[in-house]
Amino acid sequence: MNKKVLLQDLGLKDYKETWDYQELLFQKTVDLKIKNRREHAQLETPNHFLFVEHPHVFTLGKSGDRSNLLVDEQQLSKKGAQFYKINRGGDITYHGPGQIVGYPILDLDNFFTDIHKYLRLLEEMVILTLKEYGLKAERSEGETGVWLDVGTPFARKICALGVRASRWVTMHGFALNVNAELGYFDLMIPCGIKDKAVTSLNVELGKREVKVNEVKQKLLGHFETLFEAKTIQSKTEV
């Protein structure tokens, strides 16, 4: 039977507000798992999938190097961007308008207890979505995320990935560039990788505007298949 996943599309939402909301959902699930274990109960743990678009923001993972952000706070302010050091894996990344950000907050005990498999399935979801637009997207060995023209001088990243997990509950997720403003990526060394470019779906398709909702529906379709899940629209609480 397909696992139920509660879907919310938060629209354009401040990064910190969304991070706090993620933490709330994450902690509720962790607390329920602790209660189940302590009381030998079998209360069902929820699974969530949040879609969101953020105003310009740079985030640095736990193992990240602050020097990969190439501008100071004053320059960031002039660009209308914010900066946060956060509790996911990975280095520095950028979120902004024209980018689909997805935050699956899943209890992997409901699916499979394998973080490596989880990351690979998120990548596969994006790879299959981009294939529908005629693009051959791939993984790059030793680097998370989704890439184009891997192994060539033209290798470029189109989707970043960074997650956190505790007690097999996940948070954070992926950021797929759809109609992204690529100039903001020049303000950092993306994911700490100096010799690779960044791209966006609209650029790859000849700079035509891509319908964001269409891409979201394709992502969800592949998510449901890969995770053997059924997404159900849920009331936005943030």
Q: Which residues are catalytic?
A: 191
- Name residue 170's amino acid: T
Q: What's phi and psi for 220, nearest 5 deg?
A: -65, -40
- Name residue 119's amino acid: L
Q: Are 5 and 45 in contact, with CB atoms under 8 Å apart?
A: no
Beta bridge partners of 50: 8, 103
Kindly state the tokens that stand for 179. 């109609």
**Which residues fall within 8 angstroms of residue 99, CB to CB, at 6 or more apart?**
53, 54, 175, 176, 177, 178, 179, 180
Directed axis angle between helix 115-131 and helix 212-227, to 10°? 140
Site of tokens 């997650």 = 163
Site of tokens 């919310």 = 8
Q: Are 49 and 103 in contact, with CB atoms under 8 Å apart?
A: yes
- Name residue 117's amino acid: K
